[in-house]
Amino acid sequence: MCATAEQVSRSAAAKEHPVVIHTNKRDPSLCSRILAIGRATPAYRVSQEESFRISRYERDGVRRVFLNSGIDFRHFYFEQEPRLDETSDELNARYLRGAVETGCRAARTCLDLAGLSPRDVDLLVVCTSTGYVCPDIGTRLIGHMGFRNDVRRASMIGLGCAGAVPSLQQAVDFTNAHLGLVSLMLAVEICSACYYFDDAMETVVGNAICSDGAAAVPLTRSPLMRQSYPALVAFASFMDPDHLQTVGLDHREGKLRIILGTDVRNLAAPLIQGALTPLLERHGLSQSDIRFWVAHPGGRKVIDNVQKALGLTDAQLRFSRAVLRQHGNMSSPTVLFVLDEVVRTGDPRTGDWGVLIALGPGMAAELALLQW
């Protein structure tokens, strides 16, 4: 199915773009529900001033990018003082150690909060993009954490900042089809293992805002569920392949290099609208029916443009800005940190609707419709 140019008229290059819609139109009481959210960040925490100091950049213009990012602190997985001369092998080895350690803590936290153990999990979905290992991170966690030998696995690789949403859909599809079974979705990224130094602005921006972290959620479809967390009612995607290279990871000199093109800030709103409009229409909803906007904070200017285009208030995006300020952009786990902020501080009530939004390579908007 193709969208018309009118549907993406806010885009600088309005053309017809392929749209992929994923939806489960059903009674929310029959949908899978999140049971808990586990968050984890590495112990090494630095201010933006400190991160600029260790970044190798010296220009005042770059310092302004770091300090005007809407970020106060970021976490990185370093076992000792950061080295900026790591080889590609050292970077990937640090990714592996960091992903297993940080991912394990996030997974254990959410299972403990839900009153579950690893042996209760029937499907393990792991989302990651900032390194590559075989066997994958999920397989390595099975013995490390004590999952059952017959646990099913799904590895979601290369979806970048948007990866948590299609990974959630994999977990939800499983639990919707298997009443009473439990899936566990883990998003873990060690963006510092993709550190690459050059003067290109997209590299500077990536180095100024990206950070490390993990988030995990168990889900099930069962009458016995914690009501403070929402049901995942439906999913939607909108992709613009004309901007395939705008966001992602590039290979340079054997290393991964983060790409965050400046076009992202202008493309975000029309991509989100391309997925949001049909998603709400299919469920008889309007924007005014949505109480919680759980938006991935891809960067300060991205949030500013999305706020303006969708007509959202500062209060509606306070959760996203709070996560960006305290953690930076951790890629795929970040939107789950925002959802956790909503649950902790937003006072969600029975019947409230929410929309979870993430942007990533493709270029793609990935959305999930939530109801408490």
Task: Label residue 19 by pLDDT band (50, 70, 90).
Answer: very low
Q: Where are the domains of the chain?
A: 5-29+228-371, 34-220
Residue 202 has pLDDT above 60, yes or no: yes
For residues 104 and 308, is the Cβ–Cβ distance under 8 A?
Answer: no
Rounded alpha-carbon distances, angstroms, from residue 105 to 99, 108, 137, 214: 10, 5, 13, 8
pLDDT, tens digit (0-9, with 9 covering 90-100), for 41-70: 999 999 999 999 988 888 888 999 999 999
Fold that domain 34-220 belongs to in CATH: Peroxisomal Thiolase; Chain A, domain 1 (3.40.47)
Catalytic residue (choose from 31, 104, 127, 161) = 161
Share of the chain above pLDDT 70, in %: 89
Q: What is the pTM (predicted TM-score) of this model?
A: 0.90
Pick 248 or 349 by higher pLDDT: 349
Would you say the CATH fold of 34-220 matches that of 5-29+228-371?
A: yes
Give me the mean pLDDT over the 5-31 stretch.
48
For residues 50 and 216, is the Cβ–Cβ distance under 8 A?
Answer: no
Give phi and psi for 270, each to the nearest 5.
-65, -30
Give me the CATH code for the 5-29+228-371 domain, please. 3.40.47.10
Provide the Cα torsion 68, 188, 168, 39; round to 10°. Answer: -80
Residue 161 falls in the annotated catalytic set: yes
